[in-house]
Structure 1
Amino acid sequence: MKIGIDARTLYKPSGGVGTYLKNLLAELGSLDQENQYVLFFDAAPPGDLDPVNFTRRTLHLPFGQNLTTWNTFRLLPELWLRPVDLFHFPFYTMPLVKPGKSVVTIHDLTYKLHPEWFNWKAWLTFRPFSYRAAKAADRILTVSYTSREDILRSYRLPEQKVVVTYHGVSEHFHKICDRGPLDEVQDSYGLRHPLLLYVGSITLRKNLVRLLWAFHQLVTEKRVDAHLLLVGRTLAPYPDLPSLVKELGLEARVSFISEYISQETLCRLYNLADLFIYPSLYEGFGLPVLEAMACGTPVVTSRVSSLPEVAGEAAILVDPYNPQEITEALWVGLTDGRLRGELMQRGLERVKKFSWRKTAQETLQVYQSVLAL
């Protein structure tokens, strides 16, 4: 059988969707030797995916190079001329006309449940076209049972149509025992202990304003001489964090890394951190939580959306709308040695439940069920 996949999100491998597709394809390439995969791009494809059963097609569109116009005006005619047996759309949307047997991945319903976190262009792209894709596709993949319930409730779909395939954790993320690489990255970025780390985009949904207030209370009320590092690129709409840092007098204690960093460097930062903090207000999955656990770092995260499902009992869970509760969790996470040891061990055990190979196996099962329709 020939399976087509919209592979355009591979251009952004540092984002959650790009990470998902990159790892899914790598595992499918080694797992499935029976089917042929055709990866579709709108520009020159990246050169780091070369399984023997993968081919690539680049489809240029001289106008409106975005999700929906490319799907409908360039991809759809190509599939009419050179059809595939099944097509997987890994990023919420598909052409206005169903191209045949189809699977779509809807990672979460943030755009529907919290439209205030999107600019109008993104909202107009995701909300109507994702709803259309959810209705038209033969199966929907999503990344947590929390997202599955959101999709079933919001779109009123039959339960068998929505299938959960969890994310995995890359083997790049692991505990480092050699202090040399850690000292190197610490010196490179001018970091000091105790170090709190956040990894993710800089946008309203990530709740970083309340994190800064909580960190301010940790420093001023708890008298903890700590450093906070925020790693991630800024996405609109976004809070003016540098101004808030200045207002709170935290310039010497808060650092930002906004440029792309390698997985090797990110792994070192996770290992270097004394505590990982992820206070997001809504997540479809929350992959950085597991990445930190894989590196043996205690985690504080939110008691909302999918985060308790992903973290289990291996993290301190907080109300993300309550800065005082976040402060207390940071304090306990830094000072309670027994709890820190328990969280480290639980985290290392927790991540064993998640693998990209399992993601690929379950995705392949969905492909096979759709092909059998």
Structure 2
Amino acid sequence: MKILYDHQIFEQQKFGGISRYFCEVIEGLNRFENTIVDISLKYSKNEYIGKSIFSQKINDNPSAYENFIPGREFKGKWNLYALRNKIIKPVETDEVNKFLSIEALKKQDFDVFHPTYYDDYFLPYMGNKPFVLTVYDMIHEIYPECFSLADKISEKKRELAKVAHKIVAISECTKKDLIRFFGIPSDKITVTHLATSMDSAASHTAPLPLASALPKRYILFVGARTVYKNFYFFINSMRLLMEADPTLHIFCTGGPFNRNEKIFFETHGIANRVHQLAASDAELEVLYQRALAFVFPSLYEGFGIPVLEAFSNACPAVLANAGSLPEIGGDAAVYFEPKDAQSVHAAMSEVLYNAGRRAELVALGNQRLQQFSWHRTCQETEAVYRALVAGT
């Protein structure tokens, strides 16, 4: 059985949950007997695919600024780069990747095709071959106000969900929302939970320089801070607790704070107690391990890999009672209503000021973690492929 994956998500993400999921599935299935995996991709900056079995196949964009006279910075370099691009047409990496995907589809040398995102470019080239679509969440449908009117993801997702031969949903929550919003038949959808790629048993023997620079007492917030992630509401809900506990800090991963966030922190007098780092995987492990608690106040998640990352690193989890988070966290987390400041305050206090409760959550988290593995994800995904090939 041969499975073909395409380029889409590996163009969009340098890091990210979706590209990690596909890399874990590709790597895992490659170890399965009688299963062959292939990918139509030439140019990508994605860190995971660059370290995968396809690493020799992947190239960086030769026309990118960082590859122009690499290792040297000088006045006028950008202008020289722009001039070069006027003389020599830059490589259109997205067009090259899409062309390769279309050519691979035309050859029909595969049994099942699995696109990695929602562009429907491939439909005219499928012939009689089946394709599987993974749906990660229904955030565009539940909170459309968080996205541009020009955003076509929901429209394309709906179209592909209707014609896909099988759909993989990454949680029961996502499956229910697919049925509710798109009217997809239940028996067309298979739930395959994700896992974490973090291995706390393989933690670094020597502490990173980061460790000595961390606040002694902090809560960890991981990932993007877009509207539905509920970051502002959470910070606002924490102000009274932070006023009463001047040693408490909040540490955030993800991109740098924007101007509005900085103004918000300064206005409320907490600018020196809210920190940010675009953390590597190794640094993120340290951040989890040193935190008093991990908090996930999101209004909706299709799965929530950071919950398992926290469990893997013995970090107590405090989660919003929303989306798939209770499904993933089970009894190993403390929950709060994501738009109730008193509920946030009570949940955080329960964990921050009760060492016994934190120890209990760590133990429960370790038990809960055993229910999720990439091997299981791969097994369940392969079963979907084989059923399609068998025509069942």
- Normalising by the residue count of structure 1, what TM-score does the alignment of the two structures yield? 0.86
Aligned to 1:272: 290
1:245 is the counterpart of 2:265:
yes
Counterpart CA distance in 1 for 2:190 and 2:255 is: 30
Q: CA deviation at 1:116?
A: 1.3
Q: Residues 1-373 of structure 1 correspond to what in structure 2 (within 5 A)?
A: 1-10=1-10, 12=13, 14-30=15-31, 32-41=32-41, 43=43, 46-50=49-53, 65=94, 75-94=101-120, 95-97=122-124, 99=126, 100-121=129-150, 123-124=151-152, 126-174=153-201, 181=207, 184-187=209-212, 190-220=213-243, 222-233=244-255, 240-257=260-277, 259=278, 261-373=279-391
- Cα RMSD (Å) of the superposition? 2.8
CA-to-aligned-CA distance 1:63-84 (integer Å, 9 cap, x gap): 7948xx976x763354124442
Query: In structure 1, the residue corresponding to 2:5 is in which secondary structure?
Result: strand
Q: CA deviation at 1:8?
A: 3.9
Query: In structure 1, the residue corresponding to 2:301 is in which secondary structure?
Result: coil
Counterpart CA distance in 1 for 2:357 and 2:102 is: 54
Counterpart CA distance in 2 for 1:229 and 1:171 is: 19
Which amino acid letter does the alignment assign opposite residue 173 of structure 2? Answer: T
Q: CA deviation at 1:10?
A: 3.7
Counterpart CA distance in 2 for 1:276 and 1:174 is: 19
Q: CA deviation at 1:244?
A: 0.9
Counterpart CA distance in 1 for 2:237 and 2:385 is: 45
Which amino acid letter does the alignment assign opposite residue 197 of structure 1? Answer: L
Which amino acid letter does the alignment assign opposite residue 149 of structure 1? Answer: K
Query: In structure 2, the residue corresponding to 1:252 is in which secondary structure?
Result: helix
CA-to-aligned-CA distance 1:317-362 (integer Å, 9 cap, x gap): 0011112221221122110122111111101111110001110110
CA-to-aligned-CA distance 1:249-302 (integer Å, 9 cap, x gap): 111111011x3x321111111101111111001000011011011111111111
Which amino acid letter does the alignment assign opposite residue 289 of structure 2? Answer: N
Counterpart CA distance in 2 for 1:219 and 1:78 is: 56
Q: Structure 1 residues 277 and 203, CA, compared in 2 at 3 Å: closer, same or farther? A: same
Q: Structure 1 residues 44 and 276, CA, compared in 2 at 3 Å: closer, same or farther? A: closer
Aligned to 2:87: none
Which amino acid letter does the alignment assign opposite residue 89 of structure 1? Answer: P
Q: Structure 1 residues 328 and 224, CA, compared in 2 at 3 Å: closer, same or farther? A: farther
Q: CA deviation at 1:90?
A: 2.8
Aligned to 2:64: none
Which amino acid letter does the alignment assign opposite residue 206 of structure 1? Answer: K
Counterpart CA distance in 2 for 1:134 and 1:48 is: 31
Counterpart CA distance in 2 for 1:283 and 1:135 is: 22
Q: Structure 1 residues 248 and 63, CA, compared in 2 at 3 Å: closer, same or farther? A: same
Q: What count of residue pairs does the alignment treat as equivalent?
A: 355
Which amino acid letter does the alignment assign opposite residue 355 of structure 1? Answer: S
Q: CA deviation at 1:240?
A: 2.9
Q: Which is further off, 15-24 or 294-303?
A: 15-24
Query: In structure 2, the residue corresponding to 1:228 is in which secondary structure?
Result: strand
Counterpart CA distance in 2 for 1:151 and 1:70 is: 29
**Unaligned runs of at least 5 residues, structure 2:** 62-89
Which amino acid letter does the alignment assign opposite residue 52 of structure 2? Answer: L
- Choose 1 or 2 for highest CA Rg: 2
